[in-house]
């Protein structure tokens, strides 16, 4: 009870803080200062309380307090500490706490640094926290329960099914898919991104509120880049986890949960660009505000899509519903409403100074890039929401991965071209002629490189065009990077981030479009040629304490060992399969276990059971039980003939055995014999289920020649998939450099 | 400025048209086998695996063949181009995406609906189990 009260108190604190900040904006001088103080203290108190909630849940999890439903549902005694940490955000309630906690910390930091913006900005923070805490409050209002409390006990969760005060001896444990270190860090990183996305939103909202459209960008920009960095890192960790653990062979499937983090990232990156343009030129005020609002609205909307249960039937991995639908709907409507209504309300009065630069200026490329990113984000979120809205007027429809890819392809081409052009224009302020001379080298190199990839097999027109654009982005940015490093290396962030994007696009082409996949049977101890490797299945093994298969991969005299995992999870009541990957510079060889075919158990007995019309292999014989023929049904003298077909070396004989039960109730059996010397003796007949048991003599059991144990795998080759990881890493490094520079200078000229 | 706005507007318009085109080509309506036979392009069918009929995986062709009973009760054979999905045995229902080719339903994607996903079933099922 006390735990739930702490949650309630933090809810009240944040609500009070929000109200206080709102009043602050309406008061003058002294009165405003008082309200400001109250609001600050309330926000700090809320933060302390939610930190306590955070600590309590950790305490309950680490001390295995299974009387709490959350602890019981996601953890168990045998879970190692590193995964005990993951249990915190394995469920909705815990991940909400994490999100609220991060929002509170970021809120405090923003409170410290936002000066005259403070009350306007903090209203958004206090409001978001109030909404989020309501999701975990578990308050009962009449029959209605608001939110789902992480501190619900087993006996509250299952009333009537367990006695009050019941403490289960052990928990259900953590979903084995989440028992992975990528999954330990992926959620917190993503939530840092989600939480930081509120900073640009709150500042943009404050800008509309105060009708001051320029000075909000300076404090908001580093946070926006930070948000893009965290979201990008989170997306990559999730993608790598999917690739390495889930075994569906890819890192991206356009699943609603994935799109839910991609769309805010696209919007955030668009926002960074519009912010930079606005700072440089003073134009684009409306668009900048729109992208800043849009990014966080998309964060909330994705939360709604993935947690309300509306997509439960369409996504492989959205959370199941906790009955938060209405609350989440209210959350998204509030934030979308307050952002958009405020924007519409101010629209006419927002200054829109004319854009005076030439078409071939760096800023124009950035505006166009931001526009493309925004459109792509909108299209992606429409595609993701399709099943939800189409349901309203009939059977749901979904957009498949091909649809998303088709949608993204031309956008990616335009973006890559802009990335190259825009960066080159940095140095082309003098105009058209310099631009052309700067274009010569990257264009030439791109044409050559595109020629090479077409020659090596990339014949698809769309891919060739994207390849050219990506190469152009790459060479143009390298050219720029070289010059930057000669000059002021601190400015290298942008060029690096863009080079990373070029790598990513090239990686998407090679690993997405030109991967090959094929199923193979690997008999134990036999070499099988798979994509240029000799694979030999060597029997069962162990990896990370789980059952695995040992496969040797030989090529050109070098031998590597692969250990794909397949084990039965009692948690999921299912076979879990984890691929193993042979990483080479030019490709990954990806081996996923499909199934294991055990050696047929040799018939160590010649006693065989049959149903009518059943055929069985007994050593070198194939025996079919064809029929019963009752010879006498006199209760004192039951006599039944049983007819069999015995096939040996392709020759088929019919054999009849007789089974009789006399007045003494003792069965007597007369064997039947085939010309080839096979004798069949009926041992028993079970009239209740029609099963008969016979003894077979004359079968060569050793000739059974069973199929050897075979491992069936799905193997695929993913060319240059390393470019995807390298690209993300380089892009994120670029983001990091930019934050560093912008925080350090806090003012900058481009 | 107006020219640039016009260019931007035209670009957005072009993208919208393209987007609608991409959507139309690649949306997969949910239907049953009957609807799939007359449908144009790929569809999705939700159903339950009929375990009484044969099912097998051919490693050489990397196909998995099984029978599926759709929501209207019709049972048809499905050829899935891929390995038998994880947890297929434990699925409460499966959604197959694909289309009919020469009277045979060919699928390239199967969504397996398991009782437990990230969350345990405690939220939906309200059954205590230890």
DSSP output for A234-280: HHHHHHHHIIIII-SS-S----HHHHHHHHHHHHHHHHHHHHHHHHH
pLDDT, residue A342, reads 94
Q: Give chain A positions within 8 Å (CB) of B29.
A: 395-397
C-alpha A539/C-alpha A536 separation (Å) is 9
Residues A275 and A371 occupy one common structural domain: yes
| Residue A50 near residue A97, CB atoms below 8 Å | yes
Question: How close A405 comes to chain B (CA, Å)?
Answer: 9
Confidence of residue A25 (pLDDT cuts 50, 70, 90): very high
Q: Give chain B positions within 8 Å (CB) of A161.
A: 127-128
Query: Does the residue A622 lie in any domain?
Result: yes
Q: Give chain B positions within 8 Å (CB) of A313.
A: 46, 95, 113
The residue range of the domain holding A577 is 519-599+708-719
Query: Does the residue A747 lie in any domain?
Result: yes
Cβ within 8 Å, pair B117-A323: no
Q: Is A1 helix (H, G, I), strand (E, B) or coil?
A: coil
Give the CA angle between residues A396, B45, A260 to the nearest 5°: 50
Residues A430 and A471 occupy one common structural domain: yes
For residue A66, what is the nearest residue in chain B, using CA coordinates?
B130
Confidence of residue B116 (pLDDT cuts 50, 70, 90): very low
| Residue A363 near residue A277, CB atoms below 8 Å | yes
- Radius of gyration of chain B from Cα atoms? 20
Closest CA to A173 of B120, B17, B18, B61: B120
Q: Is B22 helix (H, G, I), strand (E, B) or coil?
A: helix
Residue A338, strand partner residues = none
Cβ within 8 Å, pair A714-B82: yes
Closest CA to A267 of A237, A234, A232, A240: A232
Query: Does the residue A656 lie in any domain?
Result: yes
Residues A489 and A587 occupy one common structural domain: no
Residues A389 and A441 occupy one common structural domain: no
Tokens standing for A437? Answer: 């001379």
Angle between helices A401-425 and A492-507 (to 10 degrees): 150
Q: Is A141 helix (H, G, I), strand (E, B) or coil?
A: strand
For chain B, the structural domain boundaries read 30-117
| Residue A632 near residue A639, CB atoms below 8 Å | yes
Query: Does the residue A184 lie in any domain?
Result: no
Alpha helices in A487-515 (DSSP H): 492-507
Residues A12 and A59 occupy one common structural domain: yes
Cβ within 8 Å, pair A175-B126: no
Residue B111, strand partner residues = B95
Residue A290: HSE in the Cβ half-sphere, 13 Å Cα cutoff: 16
C-alpha A697/C-alpha A694 separation (Å) is 10
Closest CA to A99 of A199, A232, A194, A9: A194
Residue A703: HSE in the Cβ half-sphere, 13 Å Cα cutoff: 11
Question: How close A380 comes to chain B (CA, Å)?
Answer: 10
Q: Give chain A positions within 8 Å (CB) of B30.
A: 395-398
Per-position DSSP letters for B70-106, written without gaps between them: ETTS-EEEEEESSPPPTTGGG-SEEEEEEEEETTEEE
Residues A312 and A336 occupy one common structural domain: yes
Phi, psi of B77 (to 5 degrees): -80, 140
Q: Which of A399, A423, A448 is the last residue of a domain?
A: A399
Q: Which helix (H) or strand (E) holds A581?
A: strand A580-583
pLDDT, residue B124, reads 35
pLDDT at A14 over 60: yes
- Give mean pLDDT, residues A19-38: 92
C-alpha A248/C-alpha A177 separation (Å) is 13
- Give mean pLDDT, residues A316-330: 75
Q: From the list A154, A403, A575, which residue is nearest B27 (CB)?
A: A403
The single-letter DSSP state of residue A162 is B
Closest CA to B69 of B45, B102, B89: B45
Question: How close A550 comes to chain B (CA, Å)?
Answer: 19
Residues A72 and A205 occupy one common structural domain: no
- Give mean pLDDT, residues A254-268: 93
Per-position DSSP letters for A603-671, written without gaps between them: ----EEEE-TT-EEEETTEEEEEEEEEEEEEETTEEEEEEEEEEEETTEEEEEEEEEEE-TT--EEEE-
Residue A564, strand partner residues = none
pLDDT at B130 over 60: no
pLDDT, residue B129, reads 54
Q: Give chain B positions within 8 Å (CB) of A564.
A: none
Residues in chain B: 130
C-alpha A594/C-alpha A592 separation (Å) is 6
Mean per-residue pLDDT over chain A, rounded: 88
Query: Does the residue A189 lie in any domain?
Result: no
Residues with Cβ < 8 Å from A172, sequence gap 6 or more?
A: A72, A73, A74, A76, A571, B120, B129, B130
pLDDT, residue A746, reads 58
pLDDT at B114 over 70: no
Of A190 and A572, the structure prediction assigns the larger pLDDT to A190
Query: Does the residue A257 lie in any domain?
Result: yes
Residues A251 and A385 occupy one common structural domain: yes
- Per residue in A266-298, pLDDT (tens digit) is 999 999 999 999 998 888 899 999 999 999 999
C-alpha A79/C-alpha A84 separation (Å) is 6
| Residue A366 near residue A355, CB atoms below 8 Å | no
Q: Give chain B positions within 8 Å (CB) of A403.
A: 22-23, 25-27
Per-position DSSP letters for A521-562, written without gaps between them: EEEBT-EEEETTEEEEEEEEEEETTEEEEEEEEEETTEEEEE
| Residue B41 near residue B35, CB atoms below 8 Å | no
Q: What is the largest CA-CA distance in chain B?
A: 70
Q: Give chain B positions within 8 Å (CB) of A95.
A: none
Q: Does the predicted interface ipTM exceed a cut of 0.85?
A: no
- Give mean pLDDT, residues A25-30: 88
- Radius of gyration of chain A from Cα atoms? 34
pLDDT, residue A703, reads 60
Phi, psi of A574 (to 5 degrees): -160, 165
Give the CA angle between residues A18, A742, A724 to the nearest 5°: 100
pLDDT, residue B120, reads 37
pLDDT at A414 over 50: yes
Q: From the list B19, B58, B95, which residue is nearest A379 (CB)?
A: B19
Residues A538 and A674 occupy one common structural domain: no
| Residue B95 near residue A48, CB atoms below 8 Å | no
Phi, psi of A683 (to 5 degrees): -90, -45
pLDDT, residue A640, reads 86
- Per residue in A29-51, pLDDT (tens digit) is 888 999 999 999 999 999 999 99
C-alpha A54/C-alpha A191 separation (Å) is 15
pLDDT at A750 over 50: no
- C-alpha A462 chain-centroid distance: 27
C-alpha A167/C-alpha A158 separation (Å) is 12
C-alpha A625/C-alpha A615 separation (Å) is 7
- C-alpha A242 chain-centroid distance: 6
Residues A57 and A132 occupy one common structural domain: yes
- Per residue in B67-90, pLDDT (tens digit) is 999 988 899 999 998 777 766 777
Question: What is the percent of chain B with per-residue pLDDT over 90, rounded to a whole number?
Answer: 11
pTM assigned to the model: 0.84
Angle between helices B2-26 and A362-390 (to 10 degrees): 40
- Give mean pLDDT, residues A523-528: 90
Cβ within 8 Å, pair A91-B119: yes
pLDDT, residue B44, reads 87
Q: A533-543 and B56-58 as β-strands: parallel, antiparallel, unpaired?
A: unpaired
C-alpha B118/C-alpha A307 separation (Å) is 11
pLDDT, residue A705, reads 53
Phi, psi of A310 (to 5 degrees): -65, -25
Please report, for chain B, how many H helices and E strands are present, in that order.
3, 7
Handedness of CA A48, A53, A56, A61 (dihedral sign): negative
| Residue A70 near residue A94, CB atoms below 8 Å | yes
Classify each residue of A329-341 as buried b or exposed e, where b means 16 or more C-beta atoms within 10 Å of its C-beta. eebbeebbebbee
Under CATH, which number does the domain B30-117 receive?
2.40.50.140
pLDDT, residue A676, reads 80
Give chain A's domain count. Answer: 5
C-alpha A735/C-alpha A740 separation (Å) is 9
- Per residue in B30-65, pLDDT (tens digit) is 888 988 888 777 888 989 988 888 787 776 677 888
- Per residue in A570-614, pLDDT (tens digit) is 777 777 889 999 999 999 999 999 888 776 554 556 778 887 777
- Give mean pLDDT, residues A432-454: 88
- Give mean pLDDT, residues A644-660: 84
Q: Which of A46-50, A59-63, A426-430, A712-716 has the lowest mean pLDDT?
A: A426-430
Cβ within 8 Å, pair A371-B8: yes
- Give mean pLDDT, residues A361-384: 92
C-alpha A234/C-alpha A230 separation (Å) is 6
Tokens standing for A7? Answer: 């949650």
Query: Does the residue A461 lie in any domain?
Result: yes
Cβ within 8 Å, pair A383-B23: yes
Of A372 and B91, the structure prediction assigns the larger pLDDT to A372
Q: Is A589 helix (H, G, I), strand (E, B) or coil?
A: strand
Q: Which of A56-70, A109-123, A568-582 has the lowest mean pLDDT?
A: A568-582
Angle between helices A118-135 and A2-26 (to 10 degrees): 150
Question: How close B29 comes to chain A (CA, Å)?
Answer: 4
Q: Is A675 helix (H, G, I), strand (E, B) or coil?
A: coil
Residues A531 and A486 occupy one common structural domain: no
| Residue A369 near residue A303, CB atoms below 8 Å | no
Residues with Cβ < 8 Å from A20, sequence gap 6 or more?
A: A35, A36, A38, A39, A42
Query: Does the residue A3 lie in any domain?
Result: yes
Q: Is A222 helix (H, G, I), strand (E, B) or coil?
A: helix
- Give mean pLDDT, residues B116-122: 38
pLDDT at A210 over 60: yes
Residues A230 and A355 occupy one common structural domain: yes
Give the CA angle between residues A109, A110, A111 to the nearest 5°: 90
C-alpha A672/C-alpha A16 separation (Å) is 93
Handedness of CA A602, A606, A610, A614 (dihedral sign): positive
Cβ within 8 Å, pair B19-A517: no
């Amino acid at each position: 009870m006390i735990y739930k009260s702490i949650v309630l108190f933090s809810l009240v604190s944040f609500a009070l803080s929000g109200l206080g900040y709102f009043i602050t904006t309406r008061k003058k001088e002294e009165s405003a200062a008082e309200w400001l103080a109250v609001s600050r203290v309330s926000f700090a108190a809320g933060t302390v309380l939610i930190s306590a909630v955070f600590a309590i849940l950790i305490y309950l999890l680490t001390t295995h307090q299974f009387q709490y439903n959350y602890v019981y549902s996601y953890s168990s005694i045998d879970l190692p500490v590193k995964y005990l940490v993951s249990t915190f955000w394995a469920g909705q309630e815990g991940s909400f706490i994490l999100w609220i906690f991060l929002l509170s910390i970021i809120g405090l930091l923003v409170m410290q640094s936002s000066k005259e913006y403070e009350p306007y900005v903090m209203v958004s923070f206090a409001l978001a926290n109030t909404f989020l805490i309501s999701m975990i409050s578990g308050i009962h209002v009449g029959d209605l329960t608001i939110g789902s409390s992480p501190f619900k006990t087993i006996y509250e969760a299952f009333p009537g099914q367990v006695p009050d005060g019941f403490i289960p001896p052990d928990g259900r444990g953590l979903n084995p898919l989440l028992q992975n270190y990528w999954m330990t860090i992926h959620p917190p990183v993503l939530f840092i991104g989600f939480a930081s996305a509120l900073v640009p939103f709150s500042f943009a909202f404050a800008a509309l509120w105060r009708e001051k459209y320029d000075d909000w960008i300076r404090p908001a920009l580093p946070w926006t880049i930070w948000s893009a960095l965290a979201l990008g890192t989170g997306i990559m960790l999730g993608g790598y986890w999917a690739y390495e653990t889930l075994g569906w062979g890819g890192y991206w499937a356009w699943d609603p949960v994935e799109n839910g983090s991609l769309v805010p990232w696209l919007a955030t990156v668009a926002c960074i660009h519009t912010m930079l343009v606005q700072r440089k030129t003073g134009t684009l005020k409306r668009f900048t505000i729109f992208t800043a609002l849009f990014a966080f609205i998309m964060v909330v909307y994705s939360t709604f899509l993935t947690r309300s249960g509306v997509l439960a039937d369409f996504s492989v991995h959205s959370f199941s519903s906790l009955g938060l639908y209405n609350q989440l709907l209210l959350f998204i409507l509030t934030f979308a409403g307050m952002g958009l209504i405020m924007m519409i309300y101010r629209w006419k009065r927002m200054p829109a100074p004319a854009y005076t630069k030439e078409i071939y200026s760096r800023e124009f490329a950035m505006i166009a890039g931001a526009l493309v990113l925004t459109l792509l984000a909108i299209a992606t979120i429409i595609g993701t929401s399709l099943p939800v809205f189409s349901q309203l007027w009939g059977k749901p429809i979904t957009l498949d991965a091909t649809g998303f890819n088709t949608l993204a392809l031309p956008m990616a081409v335009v973006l890559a071209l802009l990335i190259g052009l825009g960066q080159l224009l940095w140095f082309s302020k003098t105009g058209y002629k310099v631009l052309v001379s700067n274009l010569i080298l990257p264009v030439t190199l791109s044409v050559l490189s595109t020629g090479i990839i077409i020659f090596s097999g990339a014949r698809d027109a769309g891919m060739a065009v994207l390849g050219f654009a990506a190469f152009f982005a790459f060479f143009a940015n390298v050219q720029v990077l070289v010059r930057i490093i000669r000059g002021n290396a601190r400015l290298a962030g942008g060029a690096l981030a863009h080079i990373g994007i070029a790598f990513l696009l090239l990686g998407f082409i090679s690993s997405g479009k030109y991967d090959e996949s094929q199923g193979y049977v690997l008999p134990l101890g036999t070499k099988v040629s798979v994509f240029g490797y000799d694979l030999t299945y060597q029997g069962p093994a162990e990896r990370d304490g789980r059952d695995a298969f040992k496969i040797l991969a030989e090529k050109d005299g070098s031998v590597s060992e692969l250990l794909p995992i397949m084990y039965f999870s009692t948690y999921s009541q299912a076979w879990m399969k984890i691929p193993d990957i042979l990483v080479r510079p030019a490709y990954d060889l990806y081996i996923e276990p499909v199934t294991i075919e055990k050696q047929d158990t040799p018939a160590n007995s010649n006693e065989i059971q049959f149903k009518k019309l059943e055929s069985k292999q007994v050593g070198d014989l194939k025996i079919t039980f064809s029929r019963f023929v009752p010879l006498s049904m006199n209760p004192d003298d039951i006599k039944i003939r049983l007819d069999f077909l015995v096939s040996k070396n392709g020759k088929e004989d019919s054999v009849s055995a007789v089974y009789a039960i006399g007045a003494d109730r003792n069965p007597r059996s007369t064997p039947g014999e085939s010309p080839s010397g096979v004798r069949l003796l009926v041992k028993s007949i079970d009239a209740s289920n029609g099963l008969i048991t016979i003894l077979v003599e004359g079968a060569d059991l050793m000739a059974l020649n069973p199929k050897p144990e075979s491992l069936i795998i799905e193997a695929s080759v993913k060319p240059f998939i390393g470019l995807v990881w390298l690209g993300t890493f380089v892009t994120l490094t670029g983001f990091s450099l930019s934050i560093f520079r912008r925080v350090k200078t806090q003012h900058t000229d481009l | 400025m107006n020219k640039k706005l016009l260019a931007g507007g035209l670009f957005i318009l072009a993208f919208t048209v393209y987007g609608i085109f991409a959507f139309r080509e690649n949306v997969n309506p949910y239907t049953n086998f009957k609807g799939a036979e007359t449908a144009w392009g790929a569809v999705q069918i939700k159903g339950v695996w009929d375990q009484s009929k044969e099912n097998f995986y051919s490693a050489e062709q990397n196909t998995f063949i099984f029978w599926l009973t759709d929501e209207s009760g019709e049972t048809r054979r499905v050829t899935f181009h891929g390995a038998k999905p994880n947890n297929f045995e434990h699925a409460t229902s499966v959604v197959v995406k694909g289309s009919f080719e020469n009277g045979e339903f060919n699928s390239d994607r199967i969504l397996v609906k398991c009782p437990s996903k990230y969350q345990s079933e405690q939220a939906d099922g309200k059954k205590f189990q230890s």
